[in-house]
Amino acid sequence: QKEVEQNSGPLSVPEGAIASLNCTYSDRGSQSFFWYRQYSGKSPELIMFIYSNGDKEDGRFTAQLNKASQYVSLLIRDSQPSDSATYLCAVRYSSASKIIFGSGTRLSIRP
């Protein structure tokens, strides 16, 4: 079993709709949870982090964490074509440790 699981996609969403990306993780000791966006040929860019159960909102992005279910999600409201990218879910066990990445979900926003 992979430590961080994501559906590889592609996930196709019409412009202006809500894109919902999901992730599960295996280690209950995980402390911090991240969503990175990666454009083709570019480096991962952090867009959201969360470490408490519940929702965290930042602009059009909302991260949701449920530690009991070991589930993290990312909602993107009012999806734009520029949101088309691969979204990487990642977890970290302590504040200075390595990041464990999922394989990513490809998101495509269609005009």
Q: Smallest distance from the beta carbon of 16 to other proteins, in angstroms?
A: 30
Q: Could you say which of 46, 54, 59, 81 contacts other proteins (CB under 8 A)?
A: 46
Assign 1 to helix, strand or coil. Answer: coil
Binding of other proteins by 59 (CB under 8 A) = no
Separation CA 74–CA 56 (nearest Å): 10
Q: Could you say which of 28, 29, 40, 43 contacts other proteins (CB under 8 A)?
A: 43
Cis amide linkage into residue 10, ω under 30° from 0: yes
Binding of other proteins by 68 (CB under 8 A) = no
Assign 82 to helix, strand or coil. Answer: helix
Binding of other proteins by 26 (CB under 8 A) = no
Separation CA 104–CA 87 (nearest Å): 5
Q: Could you say which of 88, 91, 107, 109 contacts other proteins (CB under 8 A)?
A: 88
- Name 64's Cβ contacts closer than 8 Å, sequence gap at least 6: 50, 54, 55, 56, 71, 72, 73, 74, 75
Q: Could you say which of 12, 31, 53, 66 contacts other proteins (CB under 8 A)?
A: 31
Q: Which residues bind other proteins (CB under 8 A)?
A: 2, 4, 31-32, 42-46, 49, 51, 88, 92, 94-104
